[in-house]
Amino acid sequence: MDFNDTPEEARFREEASSWLAKNAPTDDAFRTLSPLEQAKVWQKRKYDAGWACIGWAPEFGGRGASAIEEVIWRQEESQYDLPANFFLIGQGMIGPTLMAWASDEDKARFLPPLASGEEVWCQLFSEPAGGSDLAALRTRAERDGDDWVINGQKIWTSGAHYSDYGVIVVRTDPTVPKHKGLSYFYVDMKAPGVEIKPIKQLTGDSDFNEVYFTDVRVSDSQRLGEVGQGWQVSLTTLMNERAAIGGSFGQMDVSLAVSVAEEVEINGRPALEDAAVRARIANWYVQEAGLKYTGYRSLTALSRGALPGPENSIGKLVGAPKMQAMSSYLMDLLGASGAIADESLAAKAGIIQRAYMGAPGLRIAGGTDEIMANIIAERVLGLPQEPRLDKGIPFNEVPTG
Amino acid sequence: MDFNDTPEEARFREEASSWLAKNAPTDDAFRTLSPLEQAKVWQKRKYDAGWACIGWAPEFGGRGASAIEEVIWRQEESQYDLPANFFLIGQGMIGPTLMAWASDEDKARFLPPLASGEEVWCQLFSEPAGGSDLAALRTRAERDGDDWVINGQKIWTSGAHYSDYGVIVVRTDPTVPKHKGLSYFYVDMKAPGVEIKPIKQLTGDSDFNEVYFTDVRVSDSQRLGEVGQGWQVSLTTLMNERAAIGGSFGQMDVSLAVSVAEEVEINGRPALEDAAVRARIANWYVQEAGLKYTGYRSLTALSRGALPGPENSIGKLVGAPKMQAMSSYLMDLLGASGAIADESLAAKAGIIQRAYMGAPGLRIAGGTDEIMANIIAERVLGLPQEPRLDKGIPFNEVPTG
Amino acid sequence: MNFEFSDEQQLLREQARGFLTEYCPASVVRAVLDGDQDWDAALWQKVADMGWTATVIPEAYGGLGLSYYELAIIAEEMGRSAAPLPFSSSVYLASEAIQRFGTEAQKSAWLPRLASGECVATVAMAEGAGRLALGRLETCRSGSQLSGTKVPVADASIAEVAVVLARSEAGLEACLVPLQQAGISMEPVITLDTSRGHSVITFDGAQAEVLGHAALDPVDWESLLDGAAVLLAWEQLGLAETALTQARDYALQRFAFGRAIGSYQAIKHKLANMYVKNTLARSNAYYGVWALAEGSDELPLAAATARVAAIQASTYAAEENIQTHGGMGFTWEFDCHFYLRRAKLLSLAIGSEAMWQDRLVSALAAHSAAA
Amino acid sequence: MNFEFSDEQQLLREQARGFLTEYCPASVVRAVLDGDQDWDAALWQKVADMGWTATVIPEAYGGLGLSYYELAIIAEEMGRSAAPLPFSSSVYLASEAIQRFGTEAQKSAWLPRLASGECVATVAMAEGAGRLALGRLETCRSGSQLSGTKVPVADASIAEVAVVLARSEAGLEACLVPLQQAGISMEPVITLDTSRGHSVITFDGAQAEVLGHAALDPVDWESLLDGAAVLLAWEQLGLAETALTQARDYALQRFAFGRAIGSYQAIKHKLANMYVKNTLARSNAYYGVWALAEGSDELPLAAATARVAAIQASTYAAEENIQTHGGMGFTWEFDCHFYLRRAKLLSLAIGSEAMWQDRLVSALAAHSAAA
């Protein structure tokens, strides 16, 4: 065991880091751009030099890099404070779906501008009535000549308002069982009838949107997969979501807890000397280190050619509740001041409180705690699914409460 | 709110306590008897004076006392160190079942000696394949003229080896759905074909038995309820079990934790000064006091004529895991000595360890944690049952793995 | 054995619940949370008209002279509706401090106006991050002048007067400080629950008078906090009950995979856990209010037990109510977050869980030693 | 990045697992648990023949001179089978102490015999209830005579020699004490896991020699414990994996209400929790063995992290495995209780969870300060 790169990995890391050192924008002019503009400028610069979507085939703008090279690149790029999230869904989840299911013309048309950041994509799967039961979606598409007409509502769509295109799963046949009546399209987000409304979260932020479709026409050529095959196509997208998730719950790590406990006093002594505080910190560190080294083990497997599996679900299942418990406890350590949200008055309280209010969302987004535990139980441990009352029943006859 | 008796209750308590003061056996001769003999002697003395099964009607040996009077009697009697458990199942659960379902002759024949302790009864419901799914029992009874012939195996039967009679639920029709093919009998535990084997628990004790039935003949007159009505009859028994459970998880209360933490040191100071220890003790006390005062609230309701409900399930659901967590932690406080089972070497370690090894059983007996949580969710909060794959299906077609 | 509220008290509960259902639905909370106001002044007036601010103030001072049992009932209902009112500051803390420690003149001056609700008062204790140490306060009185900074102070922007915990040469003191005066500057402080206003107050030679005749025995201040802990426990219990009810209702109505999510064991057992914690909190709150109302020497133990149980029940119920609602629970539009904000805010007031666990064990050890 | 055992090491694991599956099935554990013996002497001989007792002992002293990676692999497999052997006492603790602290003569005298397995050794630390305080030991050496009482001492009845932690005028010392001698009386102590023998040892002027040339720096003893903590963590992980496997297999096979109990979320999520804890424990055990094998200065942090994670995983898995089995799990006849006994026993050895949490935070704070 060692934490070092293989010689090939080290060579690749060196190449990446020296390119980054020369090309990562740090100038003031760049910083005056909006975050989205910054992201687009930086993405285009990477694309032009062959550093965008490096795992993709060269004809789509990548360089056919290995999974471990992608990890190394991310590690190196993350040394710089550069916006990246805008393209995560499009490049991480939708790109692979287009590669697997789109026509050659569509691949040639859409993948390069997706890689270069010139076109942004979003994903339109979730619906108000769906939630954990993703396939229970109700947005309908009805055939009209060479077109389909879409009506319904999507929700939790990140980036809908700045996206050029979106992928959408819709119900094309409500009279067959749930998973069998779906089809998958891409849509122009600027098309008539598409209406985007931001959702205000309980944190006060708006990271997501509701997207309403009213008689939105899409051509049948925008369909990916066969009619009725929408669920299989969306699984391609979702599998790549799972690969994208995991690990990154470090926005509030134990070092923050240690520093708060060093500053705050209990009975005239630093809280870090209090045995109850120490027990908590120890337990969080066990979780944090455990996830970190689980990540190292996955990385090792990845570098040997393995695919990321469902066991990565533990990152979120452990990380999100830890963030909630830790932020709650640190607020307690701050006492009445823990309630202060104003970072100018109480710097750490503000950060901690953002974490506390954000944690419930992290425990839900991309699969609730309960779904994550199901995934581990079923796909890792091989336990049986629950009995499914909606199995084999026409969608329009499934009980909906 | 006050913790005092009403004048009537106080009068009753005074009557009970003065009878007890005069009649509770404390002599050495009594103490030389076996526990079962002691219990029988004492029960007969109470019976003769009208203090046995006081809630029962006078014709069966009781005095028609109210529920709160029964509680008061138990409180007063428990001041004395007298064996009582031998009759709990018979008098607490089977007596009421006989009252509700037996013929007048049988009531007259069996209830008075049950009340007087001259005859001991046990309950034969659980089976190896049953567990939480009690009604999935497989012991069969087949009609043969005026008799039934019983074959099968029961398990977890307390007191089978010293019981005179037992009540048993058996399957009389495996071709109808699970709950509909059962019938309920009483059996002579000394009858030919009844074989009793003690079960050794992981604690090393043997509180329960397996009971094997091989061609055991019972007369049809020993049936309670109609053929096929066994489940309803057994519900009468089980409802009275629930009423009997609850509350008594105090065999290891927080005062033990406090005294261990006072004696043991951490870094040269009593462990009771350690903040982590204090947080644990506080949490256990919250549970303990919460259960205690929940009991007081139930008692108040009882004294106003209410019936005990499913909310009493919380006693075991909180108490058993608390006993496990607390005993585990106290072993930790004792350090390596926490592993010592020998009470002569380490008095408290022995008690604590017995609790630790016994707790898993407490979390199972009378309904696992999971069943208790289901009861609260379904019967208190009104949440729906899970879908039942065995519903409406002939018992002999239900999947059994 | 009579461990239950009286029929009259139960009637008061029904009345209070009916009143708040009508006048303090979630929309009222939302309006304050979303808006610029620190409270709902009209609702305060109505509550005062009901006599709730007067509940335990003696009749001699314009109060109703009722017991803490009645106040606990009102507190639970206040919590149930997450009322955007300075009730805990003014009633459980400031009025109690004046009643317990004030001179006759101070009581006569303030209690009738507090009872009628025309005056709102608050208590200023915290001086920034960390567990409050009564022996190390930095706010000082010298002569009639008070100096120091208190942050955060709940409901200060709407209070006419504050009871300020301070030190002087005589030791620990509670000072009575009118808040509209030259020596005071006050800035709003945004907290996680903007349906209750909070401020930072800087006293720079502010005019102050000592509450009562002399310095405070810290034990007496802790006894005041014990009382407030019991009443806050009832309020938190009300919050926890609302969160459980919301979660249950949603679990019955929301379907996934063809059945109500409330039929899945993961959700069932989550709600059963809420019920268990709420039940323990309720029974311990009974114990607490019994000790408070009867003046029992078990109050320190009972108050700490009620407080710890209520903190645990209310934060768990509020957090898991959001999880039960899934993505919807994480929106601003749904009400679930009100209860999370308030539950955590109240858990941080007057000392957090760990401090009360510590006090609980101290009381328990004292109790065992005495027994 | 190569955070995995080598192919050769994986081969060793397969070999060890195969060996123990064959020679240490549950019936072997049961025989010792039920019987009068304190170990399975025949199994010990086989294990010694495999060279496992010699794993990290240098070749110069008759060992195999392999790394802690190999020993960790064997430890996990030992845990997986709950082997009734004095492996942890003799290999992780006593052999290590002699190797680290012994004089050349002591090493030459004992290590070859420990490597070959013909001699079993143990370490005697605890002196009764409470957390061991190195600064307050009551066992004392004066000249060549040792006096005091150690209880409990694991595997003492089968050990030829003990490393006894004691004090003298020089300070903290590890003394080498042959156990068959006049100045020693030994009584068996029944513990919760009788598949491992324990004793109380009274030293009354027993002949003892100091291990090494001088008094011990407490830091060096703690470093020894860090190493043992890592190896015990692997053993506990093995126990936890067996408990999870048993629970999973039973959940697939046991039906209730017409379906496997493993299809109920309550059981699924219980097993998922086991899996999560086991995974965290495994990854932290990797971290621990890396730090131990590479001699990293992160060892104190890595060892404490591995130990705490392993305690949590193994006790949870062992406890909940019984719950998953229901009533059957509570019988003597089923094997579930072996893993509960052993998991708790190992969690109490060399300092319990709270002590290691404390050490973890000390190491973390030192680490942060250094960074």
Residue C289 has pLDDT above 70, yes or no: yes
Q: In this structure, is the dihedral angle defined by the CA atoms of residues A172, A177, A179 and A180, taken in order, positive or negative?
A: negative
Among chain B residues, CA nearest to D129: B334
Residue B246 has pLDDT above 50, yes or no: no
Are residues D357 and A282, on separate chains, in Cβ contact within 8 Å?
A: yes
Domain range summary for chain C, segments of one domain joined by +: 7-119, 122-210, 218-370
Is residue A97 in a domain? no
Best CATH choice for the domain C122-210 from the list 3.40.190.10, 3.40.50.970, 2.40.110.10, 3.90.870.10: 2.40.110.10
- ipTM attached to this prediction: 0.96
The pLDDT value recorded for residue C1 is: 79
Check if B271 contacts A (Cβ < 8 Å): no
Residue B247 has pLDDT above 50, yes or no: no
Q: In residues, how long is chain D?
A: 371
The pLDDT value recorded for residue B245 is: 42
All chains having 3 or more CB pairs closer than 8 angstroms to chain B: A, C, D
Range in A32-41, A289-298, A391-400, D83-92 with the lowest mean pLDDT: A391-400
Is residue A237 in a domain? no
Three-class secondary structure of residue A394 per DSSP: strand
All chains having 3 or more CB pairs closer than 8 angstroms to chain D: A, B, C
Residue B130 has pLDDT above 90, yes or no: no
Please tell me the distance in Å from D156's CA to the nearest CA on chain A.
33
Q: Are residues A272 and A355 in the same domain?
A: yes
Among chain A residues, CA nearest to B277: A276
Are residues D151 and B337, on separate chains, in Cβ contact within 8 Å?
A: yes
Please tell me the distance in Å from A48's CA to the nearest CA on chain B.
57
Q: Are residues A188 and A271 in the same domain?
A: no
Three-class secondary structure of residue D197 per DSSP: coil
Cα-atom radius of gyration of chain D, to the nearest Å? Answer: 20
Tell me the pLDDT tens digit for each residue of D350-369.
999 999 999 999 999 998 87
Least Cα distance to A270 among A281, A278, A262, A280 occurs for A262
Rounded to an integer, the average pLDDT of A167-193 is 96
Q: Are residues B25 and B127 in the same domain?
A: no
Is residue B219 in a domain? yes
Q: Are residues B184 and B250 in the same domain?
A: no
Check if B275 contacts A (Cβ < 8 Å): yes
Asked whether the beta carbons of A39 and A83 are under 8 A apart, the reply is yes
Least Cα distance to B119 among B127, B110, B128 occurs for B110
Chain B residues closer than 8 Å to C368 by CB = 255, 258-259
Is residue B39 in a domain? yes
The pLDDT value recorded for residue D274 is: 98
Name residue, tokens 């100091």: D210
Residue C368 has pLDDT above 90, yes or no: no
Among chain C residues, CA nearest to D270: C266
Chain A residues closer than 8 Å to D305 by CB = 285-286, 289-290
Is residue A104 in a domain? no
Are residues A266 and B274, on separate chains, in Cβ contact within 8 Å?
A: no
DSSP symbol at B377: I
The pLDDT value recorded for residue A401 is: 76
The pLDDT value recorded for residue A245 is: 42
The pLDDT value recorded for residue B250 is: 46
The pLDDT value recorded for residue A304 is: 85
CATH number for the domain formed by residue range(s) C218-370: 1.20.140.10
Check if D269 contacts C (Cβ < 8 Å): yes
Q: For a pLDDT cut of 70, what percent of chain A falls above it?
A: 98
Is residue B388 in a domain? no
The pLDDT value recorded for residue C303 is: 98
- Structure token pair of residue C41: 């002044």
Q: Are residues A255 and A334 in the same domain?
A: yes
> Smallest Cβ distance to A386: which of D263, D275, D280?
D263
Higher pLDDT, B61 or D1: B61
Q: Are residues B218 and B294 in the same domain?
A: no
Which one of the listed residues A15, A70, A195, A241 is annotated catalytic?
A241
Q: Are residues B224 and B251 in the same domain?
A: no
**CATH assignment of the domain containing A173:** 2.40.110.10
Higher pLDDT, C363 or B247: C363
Residue D371 has pLDDT above 80, yes or no: no
Is residue B179 in a domain? yes
Tell me the pLDDT tens digit for each residue of A334-381.
999 999 998 777 778 888 999 999 999 999 988 999 999 999 999 999
Rounded to an integer, the average pLDDT of B27-51 is 94
Are residues C266 and D264, on separate chains, in Cβ contact within 8 Å?
A: no
Residue D297 has pLDDT above 80, yes or no: yes
Say yes or no: domain C7-119 is CATH 3.40.605.10.
no
Residues C343, C79: Cα–Cα separation, whole Å: 9
Q: Are residues A291 and A360 in the same domain?
A: yes
Residues A159, A375: Cα–Cα separation, whole Å: 27
Instruction: Provide the whole-model pTM.
Output: 0.96
At A130, the pLDDT band (50, 70, 90 cuts) reads confident
Residue D345 has pLDDT above 90, yes or no: yes
- Beta partners for residue C185, in sequence order: C202
CB burial of residue D62 (10 Å; 0-12, 13-18, 19+)? middle
The pLDDT value recorded for residue A250 is: 46
Rounded to an integer, the average pLDDT of C278-289 is 98
How many Å separate Cα D274 from the centre of its chain? Answer: 21
Please tell me the distance in Å from A289's CA to the nearest CA on chain D.
7
At B308, the pLDDT band (50, 70, 90 cuts) reads confident
Chain D residues closer than 8 Å to A294 by CB = 279-280, 283
At B392, the pLDDT band (50, 70, 90 cuts) reads confident
Please check whether the two domains, D7-119 and D218-370, share a CATH topology.
no
Q: Are residues A125 and A219 in the same domain?
A: yes
Is residue A168 in a domain? yes
Tell me the pLDDT tens digit for each residue of D127-175.
989 998 898 999 999 999 999 999 999 999 999 999 999 999 999 999 9
Residues D93, D124: Cα–Cα separation, whole Å: 10
Q: Are residues B28 and B66 in the same domain?
A: yes
How many CB pairs (< 8 A) connect A and C? 165
Tell me the pLDDT tens digit for each residue of B97-109.
999 999 999 999 9
Q: Are residues B131 and B46 in the same domain?
A: no
Where do the H-state alpha helices sit in chain C? 7-23, 26-34, 41-49, 68-80, 87, 96-101, 104-116, 218-253, 265-294, 299-325, 336-348, 353-370
Q: Which residues of B are catalytic?
A: 241
Q: Are residues B362 and B257 in the same domain?
A: yes
The pLDDT value recorded for residue D14 is: 98
Are residues A290 and D280, on separate chains, in Cβ contact within 8 Å?
A: yes
| Domain membership of residue A49 as a residue range | 7-85
The H or E element that residue A38 is part of is: helix A35-49
Count of CA atoms in the C-beta half-sphere (13 A) of B156: 21
Range in A234-238, B249-253, D14-18, D60-64 with the lowest mean pLDDT: B249-253
Among chain C residues, CA nearest to B298: C3
Among chain C residues, CA nearest to D267: C265
Number of domains composing chain B: 3
Tell me the pLDDT tens digit for each residue of C169-180.
999 999 999 999
Letter for the amino acid at C336? C
Tell me the pLDDT tens digit for each residue of B265-300.
998 999 999 999 999 999 999 999 999 999 999 989
Chain A residues closer than 8 Å to D269 by CB = 370, 373-374, 377
Asked whether the beta carbons of D207 and D144 are under 8 A apart, the reply is yes
Least Cα distance to B292 among B318, B272, B256, B310 occurs for B318
